[in-house]
Amino acid sequence: MIASRSESIEKRLDALRLSGSDIQAAAAISVDGLMIAGSLPDDLAEELVAAMSAAMLALGERIAQELGRGALDQVFIKGDTGYVLMAAVNNNAVLTVLVGEEAKLGLALLDMQRTAEALRELV
């Protein structure tokens, strides 16, 4: 059962990467910073993606709470070569995606939100 759950998560992440939204990497990560499943290029270290995602999630949650913005829904980071987008899956996991600088962010966020909803049943 565990293998089939993990395979289902990986299939969802692979489908997200192939969605045409210029998503270059996708990962489901536990709030403890452990990789649940990922669809990452070979040059990205899973441990680094997981640890940084968990740290950013914790910081985002604290900021949203302290500044009275309610429960954290998304984290959006813009760099000069692309974006890191994070969406809460549930209280136990976050979906992190990397997109290129020319990405259509609205489409990427929509695909990401749909994937997060589908992952809620699996993580």
Per-residue pLDDT, 123:
86
pLDDT in tens, 10-57: 999 999 999 877 899 999 999 999 999 999 999 999 999 999 999 999
Per-residue pLDDT, 82:
95
Mean pLDDT of the chain: 92
Tokens, residue 13:
């992440």
CATH of the domain at 53: 3.30.450.30
46-53: list long-range contacts, CB under 8 Å, 24+ apart.
Answer: 49/25, 49/96, 53/27, 53/29, 53/86, 53/94, 53/96
Residue 97 reports pLDDT greater than 60: yes
Based on the structure, what is the number of domains in the chain? Answer: 1
Per-residue pLDDT, 6:
84
Q: 20 lies in which domain range?
A: 2-119
Per-residue pLDDT, 2:
55
Q: Please tell me what DSSP assigns to residue 21.
A: S
Q: What is the mean pLDDT of residues 107-119?
A: 94
- Dihedrals phi, psi of 62, to nearest 5 degrees: -65, -45
